[in-house]
Every structure is written in structure tokens, then in C-alpha cells.
Amino acid sequence: DADVTQTPRNRITKTGKRIMLECSQTKGHDRMYWYRQDPGLGLRLIYYSFDVKDINKGEISDGYSVSRQAQAKFSLSLESAIPNQTALYFCATSDTGTGETQYFGPGTRLLVL
Amino acid sequence: AQKVTQAQTEISVVEKEDVTLDCVYETRDTTYYLFWYKQPPSGELVFLIRRNSFDEQNEISGRYSWNFQKSTSSFNFTITASQVVDSAVYFCALANAGGTSYGKLTFGQGTILTVHP
């Protein structure tokens, strides 16, 4: 089984809809992250959490919110989806014992119409 | 602020050629980590290597090798005798080991490598 899983893997939604992307990990890592990937822009950090009670904004948090339900679960919500949120979304985890190496989930392809 | 630049947007080679992917970084921190990730056509991100800022020893893993030079702020990645399966997008990334950006990865824009048979 994969160490970092994301659901759904693909999602099509309409402008204005609320959607949630979920991430689960079995690596036992404290730190979790959400990124989005757009062509030619690499990956950009949306939110990150260093433990269950710690949530921090990344460089592009506007229009997004997150919830850290447990050490192993970190969800990303789009409160009112808009077309420019169409992207590939990745969840990642890391642990201080691994020198901040981040391990990524398989990604969620989101299309907002 | 930290920044990672991968100046090569796309590289195209023929199988068995050697290819080097360039990565230049900027950071004010003295302790940091550098990474390379591979994103094959299937879309997942695969961790390839991590290098600590205080360890400039080059590393070789099979056909892959990495050249880290602090003097030029570069962390280049070479694939020897490339194969079609090496076709992917390759990302270089930087994480500071302290300060307000501790633990956060900054990615380069990626280099698309296409290896033709």
C-alpha cells in the first residue's frame, strides 16, 4: 500500500462549488503539506502543518482552507471553486529525522468548469 | 528569500546520450538541503536525492550522478547513457534548515527531459 494517499485522484467540478481533497499517510510523519502544480510554474505551497495543532499559510493560500484532523490526515478545501484553481494538487509529508525530505502522494487532478 | 532556477525548460536527447540538468539556487541560510525529484508521465513525484549544505561530496547512484558546488550555488544532475524511461520532468528544490522558512520546499520550474529511442 502507498504511504501517502490522496482522494479523489480526479475531480471535475463547477464554479462556485465547495470541494474537499483528502490526504492520508501511514509514514508516521508529523509534517504535512499541500501544493499545487501549474504548467511552467513548478510546485507552489498552499498550506502546511508541522503538527496537529499547527497550521500555516503558504505562498498561495487565498481561496483555500485546510483541516488537520489527525496526525495522519490533512484535508484541503476550496470553499468556492473558480476556474483558475484548475491544477494538479499534491499532498506531501516529512519528518525532521529525514532531513526535511518530503514524500509526495500521487496527486489529484482538479478541473473547475 | 530563497529561489531555485532551472534554466533549461526542455531538453531532448537520443537514447544512450549523457545529459546534465542544471540547478542554481539562492539562499541566505548557511544550512540547507537540496533535492531532486522526478515526475514521470504518470504524474507522481519521486524523490531521487537529498544533499546537505555541509556535504559537498558528489554522489553517484547507478546511471545518476549529482554535482554539488557551493561556490557557484549549483546542484547539477547528470544521467549517463540515458534511456527512454528517463523521460520525465525533473525538479530541483531547496529547503532551509532553520529560520521562518524551515522545512518548506522551494521548487524550480522543472526541466522536461525527453529521451528518444
pLDDT at A48 over 60: yes
Q: List, in order, residues 6 or more apart from A41 with CB less than 8 Å away.
A: B109
Picking from B43, B91, B104, the nearest residue to A107 by CB comes out as: B43
Alpha carbon distance, N-terminus to C-terminus of chain A: 33
A41-47: average pLDDT: 90
The Cα of A45 is separated from the nearest Cα of chain B by a number of Å equal to 8
Which residue in B49, B53, B52 sits closest to B71, CA to CA? Answer: B53
> pLDDT digit of tens for each residue in chain B (117 aa)?
789 999 999 999 999 999 999 999 999 888 899 999 999 999 999 999 989 888 888 888 899 999 999 999 999 999 999 999 999 999 999 988 766 566 678 999 999 999 999
C-beta contacts of A52-56 below 8 A and 24+ residues apart: none
Please state whether beta strands A42-51 and A31-38 pair in parallel, antiparallel, or not at all (unpaired). antiparallel
Picking from B52, B97, B108, the nearest residue to A42 by CB comes out as: B108
Cβ contact A45–B44 (<8 Å): no
Query: Residue A97 has what pLDDT?
Result: 62
Interface test with B, best of A6, A33, A37, A100 (most B CBs within 10 A): A100
pLDDT at A1 over 60: no
Cβ contact A99–B109 (<8 Å): no
Interface test with A, best of B9, B34, B45 (most A CBs within 10 A): B45
Interface of B with A in 16-55 (CB under 8 A): 33, 35, 37, 43-45, 47, 50, 52
Cα(A4)–Cα(A25) distance, integer angstroms: 4
A18, three cell numbers: 465547495
- Residue B67, classed as helix, strand or coil, is strand
Per-residue pLDDT tens digits for A49-105: 988 999 999 989 999 999 999 999 999 999 999 999 999 999 999 987 656 789 999
